């Protein structure tokens, strides 16, 4: 079968967040062991597996996401990458509805090549700063929020952009504080720079020390910064070494995530589930 590597939330190769994408034949998923083996072999933050669903239902494709070590409940960049492959190969036209562990997620392409994802907004619950988290992160939190089951992170607001950019956390120590990891964020120093807020994401519990660009994290960042800045539509910069931009639109219980994607590798996977 064809396997592709797609850089998501970027308009150029070797930036954004790379994801493996496999469009599967048939009407079901192979065994979890094979899916995990492929994701481990691809060795990017996520590999997406999708198969077509019968016409007339609530969704067009079933979609699952695996890191190199585990399956995850929600992934934005690999969903964007999958929608990009479906549209650029002519496999699907117009909005595509994905059946996932996080419900039906819709990806809508625009004429200019951008794709908008419709995801559930993360419920933010203020929590006390956990003992030791400042030491593990390497910075003193301004505020800390639980992001709910779908995202599974602690969102930690820091004092300023310089603090976020300068983080060098103890990844092993961070694993104690949430199901997936830590979203560190601050307001942009200069909104004229093209983004309203920035973030970095550290996910040691799913085998990713620092994720390049995290769509799911922006379902928590969007309500946080929209409340702070008083606007529903914002742009977030994920300040990883690869960097990426995510346009966020808060729509109550739903958050719109808009970005671009670029296919950088396409090849043949020989080790099928029956190999």
Q: 2-114+260-268: which CATH topology? A: Diaminopimelate Epimerase; Chain A, domain 1 (3.10.310)
Correct CATH for 125-252 of 3.40.30.10, 1.10.3720.10, 3.40.190.170, 3.10.310.10: 3.10.310.10
Question: How would you label 97-133 residue by residue, b for 16+ Cβ within 10 Å and e otherwise?
Answer: bbbbebeebbbbbeeeeebbbbbbbbbbeeeeeeeeb
Q: Is 42 a residue whose pLDDT tops 80? A: yes
Query: Domain segments of the chain: what residues?
Result: 2-114+260-268, 125-252
Q: Is 274 a residue whose pLDDT tops 90? A: no
Strand, helix or coil for residue 252: coil
CB contact at 8 A, 104 and 97: yes
Known catalytic residues? 46
DSSP 193: G
100-141 confidence digits (pLDDT tens):
999 999 999 999 999 999 999 999 999 999 999 999 999 999
Q: Is 275 a residue whose pLDDT tops 80? A: no
164-174 confidence digits (pLDDT tens):
999 999 999 99
Does the fold of domain 125-252 match that of domain 2-114+260-268?
yes
Q: What is the pLDDT of residue 26?
A: 86
Q: Is 158 a residue whose pLDDT tops 70? A: yes
Please give the average per-residue pLDDT across 239-262, as a whole number: 97
Q: What is the pLDDT of residue 73?
A: 92
Dmax (CA) for the chain in angstroms is 55
Q: Report, in this order, helix, strand and coil percent for the chain, each rounded to 5.
A: 20, 40, 40
pTM: predicted TM-score of the whole model, two decimal places:
0.95
209-246 confidence digits (pLDDT tens):
999 999 999 999 999 999 999 999 999 999 999 999 99
């Amino acid at each position: 079968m064809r396997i592709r590597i797609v850089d998501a939330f970027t308009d150029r190769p070797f930036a954004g967040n790379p994801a493996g994408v496999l469009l599967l034949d048939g009407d079901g998923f192979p065994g979890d062991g094979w899916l995990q083996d492929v994701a481990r072999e691809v060795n990017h933050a996520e590999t997406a597996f999708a198969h077509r669903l019968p016409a007339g239902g609530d969704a067009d494709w079933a979609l699952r996401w695996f890191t190199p070590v585990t399956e995850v409940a929600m992934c934005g960049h690999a969903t964007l990458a999958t929608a990009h492959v479906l549209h650029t190969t002519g496999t699907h036209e117009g909005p595509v509805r994905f059946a996932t562990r996080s419900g039906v997620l819709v990806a809508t392409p625009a004429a200019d090549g951008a794709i908008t994802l419709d995801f559930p907004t993360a419920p933010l619950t203020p929590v006390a700063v956990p003992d030791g988290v400042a030491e593990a992160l390497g910075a003193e939190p301004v505020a800390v929020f639980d992001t709910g089951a779908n995202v599974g992170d602690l969102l930690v607001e820091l004092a300023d952009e310089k603090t976020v950019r300068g983080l060098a956390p103890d990844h092993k120590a961070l694993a104690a504080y949430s199901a997936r990891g830590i979203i560190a964020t601050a307001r942009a120093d200069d909104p004229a720079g093209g983004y309203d807020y920035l973030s970095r994401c550290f996910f040691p519990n799913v085998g990713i020390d620092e994720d390049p660009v995290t769509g799911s994290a922006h379902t928590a960042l969007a309500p946080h910064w929209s409340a702070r800045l008083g606007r529903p539509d914002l742009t977030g910069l994920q300040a990883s070494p690869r960097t990426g931009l995510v346009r966020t639109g808060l729509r109550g219980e739903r958050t719109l995530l808009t970005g671009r994607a670029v296919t950088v590798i396409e090849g043949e996977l020989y080790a099928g589930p029956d190999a």
